[in-house]
Structure 1
Amino acid sequence: MTATVTRLDAARLADRIEELAALLTDTVAGGASIGFLASVDHAEAVAWWKERAEGVAAGRLAVWAAHDADDRVIGTVGLAFPDKPNSRHRAELVKLMVHRRARAQGLGRRLLATAENAASAAGITLLHLDTETGSPAEHLYRSAGWTRLGAIPDYAADPAGTLRPTTIYYKQVGADARRPGADSPAG
């Protein structure tokens, strides 16, 4: 599947809000634990994306969307930037979503690489994320060079409402990633 990945500003996000909401509900219906229960409906997903538009406009959040050949949104990834002066070197990777019809074709890896490269270009040197322990996303992050820090039991409910553990990952990017020993705590 050929896909185009573009960064969304607040106006573009607003223009695509219906498609983004459909992606969110499809991702949850597909079993991904991304912060929502299976009962999430389109209206809730639209409201959630509208709240994200404020963060994009304020520069606290960067969002990329993947579009298929028919220009439909089939994936997203975001970077959430901290607001504290002592943490401007890091960002959290958030809401990596791929529509069920576009899975297993490398799009998740491409979106992940897009966010990593953009973070590095922006001077971010450390990325972190959490993901449901045992989920398919874990394989993606490990194979992309992310380091597993540990797991927290009963962290969040999966779409069915069952409490599941989450695993914390981090990755150093940019200049620090090329420094020998950068992934070790003493490095």
Structure 2
Amino acid sequence: MAVPLTFTLFTRDAKPPRPLPDQLLTLWTDVTNAGGAVGFVPPVTAVDIRPRAEAHLTAMAEGRTRLLAGFTADGRLAATAFLAHNDHPLMRHWAWLYTVMVDPALQGRGYGADLLREAEDRARALGLEGLRLTCRGGQGLERFYASCGYKEIGRAPDALRVAPGDDRDEITMLLPLPRVD
């Protein structure tokens, strides 16, 4: 059994420590270059990732997004997910999970499932009733998310073009969070 990660939820009020943005860029670059479906197609550099990462961090500063980060025992960033709130009055009871990542060197040890359980616990603590995420078809991600309790609720065929002639489905998945009393 792998040593558990320590999870921290960063918000507008609890800002991440200064080296975290650099660690986030490194993680995001490594995950993408290992074939991870996190918004880019390899090969990428931190320069390619930076604008998207800065947009996520800006959303954090504005209170629209929270960063769930998992750290190894030596303090290295190992896993992340962004929890994005809905500001639409009819959708405030659920949130989106974005950019769900585990360091490629640590994959296969259960950290992805740990990250999703922690996101579920944090969402429940916030009073949310569901989490949604999207994933790229053709990589088996929907099977992983299903093993963590998510259900496929929609599929947009060929919505993601990862290369000329290589279009993938965008799959929307939902984790209902019934109230536990």
- 2:57 partner amino acid: A
Alignment equivalent of 2:100, drawn from 81, 89, 96: 96
What is the TM-score of this pair, normalised by structure 2?
A: 0.88
Equivalences, count: 176
The corresponding residue for 1:32 is: 36
**Aligned with 1:76 (options 75, 80, 103):** 80
Which residue pairs with 2:144 in the alignment? Answer: 140
Contact 1:14 1:50 in 2 (8 A): no
RMSD: 2.0
Cα deviation code 1:145-182 (max 9, x no counterpart): 11112321111133x5632112211121141xx69xxx
Give 1:70 deviation, angstroms: 2.1
For the pair 1:123 / 2:127, whether they are aligned, the reply is yes
Q: Which amino acid aligns with 1:80?
A: A
Matched to 1:123, the amino acid is G
The amino acid across from 2:152 in the alignment is: R
Structure 2 counterpart SS, 1:59: coil
**Sequence identity percentage:** 28
**Conservation of the 8 A alpha-carbon contact between 1:75 and 1:98:** yes
Structure 2 Cα separation of the partners of residues 113 and 167 of structure 1:
20
Structure with the higher helix share, 1 or 2? 1
What are the residue-to-residue correspondences of 1:163-182 with 2, within 5 Å? 163-175=167-179
Structure 2 gaps, min length 5: none
Larger RCO of the pair (alpha carbons < 8 Å, separation 6+) = 1
Runs of at least 4 residues off by over 3 Å: none
Is residue 93–residue 128 contact of structure 1 (8 Å, CA) maintained in 2?
yes
